[in-house]
Amino acid sequence: MVDFIGIERIQELLARRGAARFIEELAREIETDYLRWGEFEKSARHASHSPVGVIELMPASDGRLYAFKYVNGHPKNTAVGLLTVTAFGVLADVETGYPLLLSELTLTTALRTAATSALAARRMARPGSRAMALIGNGAQSEFQAIAFHHLLGIRELRLYDTDPAATEKLMRNLARLRLPGLTVLRCGSTAAAVAGVDIVTTVTADKRNATILTEGMIAPGMHLNAVGGDCPGKTELDAGILRRADARVVVEFEPQSRIEGEIQQLPADFPVTELTEVLAGRAPGRASSREVTIFDSVGFALEDFSALRYLMRIHQEERGGERQIDLVPDLEDPKDLFGLLLAGEPLASAAPERVRA
């Protein structure tokens, strides 16, 4: 039997812990794994692109556990009432190859993305950052708002989306959350939203080389959390922002970010720093209060590995952790797989009679 976490179970786990605590604990789990970066077998995700979206597999292993995530990204799905992103994942034992956990990762991907964003911002944003612009108010936006409010102390959140209904949805959900001390402002443009803030998070969905932020919008000292650019041909930042003399660019896994991140717009020798170097203290997150820091985040399989391991632990700790599915046969004789088919009477009775010559 294999542990199973579906939508109902993840809702239970979140209700008991609360989203803020869940994100905080998940951020610690992710940081722990980034600090043992060298133990992981790593690769860029395996992507199958179509004109309307992408389907990807994201594997990672530390030699003891193996994880993969199936995830899609189809921006036009919302027009027909479907999610832009869906995902599920498996955590397996390397020694036997047996799966240990099958889990939803649609909600969890949003949670781990927010956790990673806040984890990077704690090292890269200016100390005392209190105002953030959130450009793109769709499915990921509440998670980003909770993470930055809880883990960085953001107190002013400025919102903009080309779809007013998305902003209305976000404001309604944030009002229900009643995050203490948080002021939420609706803005009429990206430029108005980013003026004077400490942090800008972009989390838009269009699969195109968009220019959500232009160089003229960027003030010295800003931290940019660029989340939405996550596949070839999909970007959010004017390349001039990345080339600024006062800019520092941090990525998760450089070989993948060269293909899918904001830096796909730049030459292959453009200098970047991997997040593990910043978290380990081997490279600074920022050099001065006037430096523009950019977290070019595309999402990396290590974060899903961390999330799946965290989910398995709390699933087993919390009441109700006995939920399992019979995904793998349990045999008395492991060489007799066909015996499973003979165990049921219907199969035996349905056997055809031998034809005589």
What is residue 320's predicted lDDT score, i.e. its pLDDT? Answer: 64
What percentage of the chain carries pLDDT values higher than 90?
Answer: 85
Cβ distance 212 to 236 under 8 Å? Answer: yes
Give me the residue spans of the domains in the chain: 2-107+303-325, 117-299
What does the pLDDT look like over 200-240, one tens digit per residue? 999 986 666 788 999 999 999 999 999 987 778 889 999 99
pLDDT, mean of residues 64-87: 94
What does the pLDDT look like over 161-189, one tens digit per residue? 999 999 999 999 999 999 999 999 999 99
What is residue 328's predicted lDDT score, i.e. its pLDDT? Answer: 94
Tell me, letter by letter, the H, E, C secondary structure of 238-281. CHHHHHCCCEEEEECCHHHHHHHCHHHHCCCCCCCEEHHHHHCC
> Virtual CA dihedral for 303, 222, 259, 37, nearest 10 degrees?
-30
Domain 2-107+303-325 classified CATH 3.30.1780.10? yes
What is residue 217's predicted lDDT score, i.e. its pLDDT? Answer: 97
What is residue 186's predicted lDDT score, i.e. its pLDDT? Answer: 98
Show the tokens assigned to 238.
């004017």
What is residue 233's predicted lDDT score, i.e. its pLDDT? Answer: 81
304 as an active site residue: the answer is: no
pLDDT, mean of residues 48-52: 90
Q: Which residue has the higher pLDDT, 351 or 141?
A: 141
What does the pLDDT look like over 77-120, one tens digit per residue? 999 999 999 999 999 999 999 999 999 999 999 999 999 999 99
The Cα–Cα gap between 317 and 111 comes to: 20
Confidence of residue 353 (pLDDT cuts 50, 70, 90): low
The Cα–Cα gap between 329 and 82 comes to: 34
The Cα–Cα gap between 342 and 344 comes to: 5
The Cα–Cα gap between 197 and 140 comes to: 20
The Cα–Cα gap between 123 and 53 comes to: 33
Quick one: which H or E segment has residue 199? strand 199-202
What percentage of the chain carries pLDDT values higher than 70?
Answer: 94
What does the pLDDT look like over 275-322, one tens digit per residue? 999 999 999 999 999 999 999 999 999 999 999 999 999 999 987 656
Per CATH, the architecture of 117-299 is what? 3-Layer(aba) Sandwich (3.40)
Whole-model pTM? Answer: 0.93
What does the pLDDT look like over 4-16, one tens digit per residue? 999 999 999 999 9
Q: One fold for both 2-107+303-325 and 117-299?
A: no
pLDDT tops 60 at residue 350: no
Confidence of residue 352 (pLDDT cuts 50, 70, 90): low
pLDDT tops 90 at residue 356: no
pLDDT tops 60 at residue 345: no
Q: Which of 230, 238, 296, 304 is catalytic?
A: 230
- In order of 76, 107, 274, 294, the CA distances from 79 in angstroms are 6, 20, 36, 31
